[in-house]
């Protein structure tokens, strides 16, 4: 059995505009200059406290107040019906295809809160897809391996059969720190060269390439699948 862990922001879901808007509201709400969108995209994937600290760049800003303001901004946007973060092209088809396989289980490892993941699942009709959901609510920030280790513990699947699919160096390093594998995606928020340097086994340009990347990662599973098909 294989464990496939997806990052959310920048991997499954294009949420950069919502994240940048919430950051702007949080910082301006405290009378602070908003960070540039490029700086915000660079920290997507980290837990909120770590992200705010990096954005503060050594300045003595009220980190916890910024975190609270960010959460309140998302609550406001959801209540107003302006929460719009689409799935990337091909994401739904890839998830549905993998869910039909009997040799893998799917999970999430994200810097989002559990509430944020629940909003994604409800909005995009992904109920019952992910058997393990690891978030910043209960685990240390990426690149700490805690999320991957807990997902493996919950599913009973070892690191040699676990892969993290993500768009940031934090995802790649998290997988490496857990002795798992990592596949990067090129459509997210970090440069492809950085993903390779951080430990990606491969980087795909669209979800249509995911099956081939997984087969290359686990060639024995591919050979066994062909053998089973031949005996059918």
Active site residues: 7, 9
Give, in degrees to the nearest 5, the angle at Cα 51 between 47 and 56: 155
Helix H, strand E, coil C: the string for 38-77 is HHHHHHECECHHHHHHHHHCCCCCCHHHHHHHHHHHHHHH
Query: Rg for the chain (alpha carbons), in Å?
Result: 18
- 198 φ, ψ to 5°? -80, -5
Cis amide leading into 4 (omega within 30): no
- 15 in helix, strand or coil? coil
202 membership: H or E segment, kind and range: strand 202-204
């Amino acid at each position: 059995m294989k464990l496939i862990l997806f990052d959310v922001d920048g991997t499954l879901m294009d949420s950069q505009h919502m994240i940048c808007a919430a950051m702007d509201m949080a910082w301006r709400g405290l009378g602070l200059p908003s960070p540039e969108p490029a700086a915000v995209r660079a920290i997507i994937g980290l837990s909120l406290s770590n992200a705010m600290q990096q954005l503060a760049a050594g300045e003595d800003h009220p980190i916890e107040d910024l975190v609270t303001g960010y959460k309140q901004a998302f609550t406001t946007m959801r209540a107003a019906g302006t929460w719009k973060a689409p799935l990337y092209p091909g994401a739904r088809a890839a998830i549905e295809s993998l869910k039909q396989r009997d040799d893998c289980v799917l999970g999430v490892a994200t810097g989002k809160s559990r509430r944020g993941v629940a909003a994604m699942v409800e909005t995009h009709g992904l109920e019952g897809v992910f058997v393990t959901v690891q978030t910043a609510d209960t685990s240390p920030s990426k690149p700490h391996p805690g999320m991957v280790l807990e997902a493996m513990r919950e599913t009973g699947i070892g690191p040699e059969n676990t892969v993290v699919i993500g768009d940031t160096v934090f995802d790649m390093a998290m997988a490496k720190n857990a002795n798992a594998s990592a596949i990067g995606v090129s459509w997210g928020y970090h440069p492809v060269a950085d993903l390779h340097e951080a430990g990606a086994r491969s980087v795909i340009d669209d979800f249509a390439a995911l099956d081939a990347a997984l087969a290359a990662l686990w060639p024995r599973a591919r050979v066994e699948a062909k053998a089973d098909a031949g005996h059918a």
